[in-house]
Chain A
């Protein structure tokens, strides 16, 4: 579903590349934790998947497309295959819960009939049934993140990118969100890539862990914990 082949991403200016010859593959339906300290290259990896940037070297394949070669006008179509969730929720505060979720469908050209069917179903799936008319600022942090998840999955993407989705939440709420993401992964076979700093979650859920350190892949471990020993030998070492 996602494949990095010797991907290097260097930004202008001096210093090490953000990603340095990373090769990794994530299969359809997998749930993967992407871990690493700040500046390790996690965000760059996610931006590459979303085709917000292109690699300086190597190849990135997402949903069968090589993003290096993808023409600009085809990028929206690629992004419809990817749902995204952020630490800061990024909800539109002038729109209700239902409108926030519907927004993702409206702007991608879905009919009103489809929207009327899909939005309540998705809200129910994330546990927000009956809250469609509430405004985001009337909700708790956990509920707001559920709205963001609903918006990310309402178009039934193949991949869900979650960038620190529990970063602003207390441990109990983080656990609820994790449970929700795990359920979505299991029920829909959606590939989930979750970047996180949350040790307890990584340790508890024991999913595949991909660890980056200074732009290099230092660990790719199935069922690993947050602070495991490097299991891959970085290229060139």
Chain B
């Protein structure tokens, strides 16, 4: 053990600049990989949350509707046909009818009261609203069956899909996820090559010592141990720095940041951070230990 610690100290001191380069590259690449993992979990949460609530709204015609499929206010017969179609569709889990007056009442809770004041002169009247069906699909991702069944039915004004409105949110998460994972992959490759170079240089600096070790009968593992200790030490530093950076991102960027401003979305929390920490805690050492093992096997081959 004493020999190992001495070798580790000497090894780290021998090539300080290279070791700093490895640690910094590991730090940045693991942090980016961590951001990628957190983004993935954020995407999962968002889809899970919004996906459950995702509904298609089938708007029925109002009296003065100028949509192509409308010839006036939807008739009871047309409405029943729409309802029957939805009930018979295997893709529909549930369909809730929202009549015109209910739509009017809901709008009163969302918009300025002025719009509804003034009796018959009020800017918004019951007749301005459309009755609708709020349809929950069996599978949030599969709505084509429903739209093709309902679209074009008499009395149907149009269909709206909330997901179109949420597309930008998903897109931002995707950019963040794939962008950070892409950069992380490039940087992790750089870290891998840097580690390989560091091992090569260290082996070159110690070639006489390694030669003697081999001759007197030191085992391959014994020869490799100082290299492995160096690799693990660098990985540990990279993971600690990266874990710190990700913790700061969580606290100031998410917990005290966006989660306060965008409360309608679910946000990743500390359990997700711990999961991410475990991922980088495994990736970091693997990145340094694997090339070290492969290369030292080559240099310490007996």
- Which chain A residues lie closer than 8 Å to B215 at the CB level? 50, 79, 84
Q: Pick from A6-14, A102-110, A120-128 the stretch touching chain B.
A: A102-110
A77 in contact with B212 (CB, 8 Å): no
* Interchain CA distance A88-B220 in the complex, whole Å: 25
Confirm or deny: A169 has a beta carbon within 8 angstroms of a beta carbon on chain B. Answer: no
A107–B302 alpha-carbon span in the complex (Å): 14
* Contact A79/B220 with A72-B302, A90-B208 known, Cβ cut-off 8 Å: no
- For B223, the closest partner residue in chain A by CB is A107
Chain A, residues 63-82, CB within 8 Å of chain B (1/0): the string is: 00000000011011111111
Q: Is the CB of A151 within 8 A of B216?
A: yes
Q: List 6 A-B contacts (CB under 8 A).
A: A72-B220, A73-B220, A103-B216, A104-B216, A107-B3, A107-B213
Task: Check if B222 is an interface residue, CB within 8 A of chain A.
Answer: yes
Task: Tell me the minimal C-beta distance from A182 to chain B in angstroms.
Answer: 23
- Cα distance A109–B223 when bound, in Å? 12
Which residue on B lies nearest to A80, using beta carbons?
B217
CB of A174 closer than 8 Å to a CB of B: no
Q: Total A-B pairs in contact (CB under 8 Å)?
A: 54
Q: Mark B205-219, 1 if CB is under 8 A from A, else 0.
A: 000110111111111
User: For the complex, what is the distance from the CA of A151 to the CA of B215, rounded to whole Å?
Assistant: 11
Instruction: Note all chain B residues with C-beta closer than 8 A to A155.
Output: 216-217
- Which residues of B239-276 have CB atoms within 8 Å of chain A's CB atoms? none
B residues touching A (Cβ–Cβ < 8 Å)?
Answer: 3, 208-209, 211-220, 222-223, 301-302
Chain A's closest residue to B214 (CB) is A79
The answer to whether B211 and A107 have CB atoms under 8 Å apart is: no
How distant is B48 from chain A, measured CB to nearest CB, in Å?
Answer: 51
Using A72-B302, A76-B302, A79-B302 as known contacts, say yes or no to A107 and B208 having CB atoms under 8 A apart: no
Task: List 4 additional A-B contacts (Cβ < 8 Å) besides A72-B302, A109-B222.
Answer: A76-B220, A84-B216, A107-B222, A108-B217
Q: Can you list the 6 inter-chain pairs with the closest CB atoms, starting with the nearest?
A: A80-B217, A79-B217, A107-B218, A104-B216, A76-B217, A75-B302
Assuming A106-B3, A107-B222, is B212 touching A78 (CB within 8 A)?
A: no
- Please measure, in the bound complex, the distance between the C-alpha atom of A50 and the C-alpha atom of B215, giving whole angstroms: 8
Residues in B whose Cβ lies below 8 Å from that of A83: 216
Report the bound CA distance from A151 to B211 in whole Å. Answer: 14
Answer whether A92 and B302 are a contact pair too, CB < 8 Å, given A73-B220, A76-B220, A79-B215: no
Check if B216 sits within 8 Å of A80, measured CB to CB: yes
Distance (whole angstroms) from the CB of B293 to the closest CB of chain A: 15
Distance, CA A73 to CA B222, complexed state (A): 12
Contact B211 A90 (CB under 8 A): yes
Residues of chain A within 8 A of B301, CB atoms compared: 72
* A78–B220 alpha-carbon span in the complex (Å): 13
Tell me, rounded to whole Å, the shortest Cβ–Cβ distance linking B45 to chain A: 50
Q: Which residues of B contact A78 (CB under 8 A)?
A: 217
User: What A residues does B214 contact at CB under 8 A?
Assistant: 76, 79
Contact with B along A44-77 (1 / 0, CB 8 A): 0000001100000000000000000000110111
On chain B, the residues within 8 Å of A73 by CB distance are 219-220
Q: How far, in angstroms, from A50 to B209 measured CA to CA in the complex?
A: 17
What CA separation (Å) do A79 and B219 show in the bound complex? Answer: 10
Known: A79-B302, A107-B222. A90 touches B217 (CB 8 A): no
CA distance A50 to B216 in the complex (A): 10
**Is the beta-carbon distance between A108 and B208 smaller than 8 angstroms?**
no
CA–CA, A224 and B209, complex, Å: 37
CA distance A76 to B211 in the complex (A): 12
CB nearest neighbor in A for B215: A84
CA distance A81 to B216 in the complex (A): 9
Cα A127 to Cα B265 in complex, Å, equals: 82
In the assembled complex, the Cα of A78 lies from the Cα of B214 at a distance in Å of: 11
Whether A104 contacts B302 by the Cβ 8 Å rule is no
Shortest CB-to-CB span from A17 to chain B, Å, is: 23
Residues of A within 8 A of B3 (CB): 106-107
Q: B208 contacts which chain A residues (CB < 8 A)?
A: 90, 92
A84–B215 CA distance with the chains assembled, in angstroms: 7
Chain B residues near A75: list those with CB within 8 A. 302
Residues on the B chain within 8 Å of A92, using CB: 208-209, 212
CA distance in complex: A83, B215 (Å): 8
Q: Closest B residue to A50 by CB, please name it.
A: B215
* Residues on B with beta carbons closer than 8 Å to the beta carbon of A82: 217
Query: B302 touching A90 by the CB < 8 A rule?
Result: no
- CB–CB B216/A90 < 8 A: no
> Which chain A residue has the least Cβ–Cβ distance from B216?
A104
Q: In the assembly, what is the distance between CA of A34 and CA of B66, in Å?
A: 109
With A and B bound together, what is the CA distance between A72 and B223 in angstroms? 14
Q: A108 contacts which of B209, B218, B302 (Cβ < 8 Å)? A: B218
**Nearest residue, chain B, Cβ from A72:** B302
Name the distance in Å between A192's Cβ and chain B's nearest Cβ: 16
CB distance from B211 to the nearest CB of A (A): 7
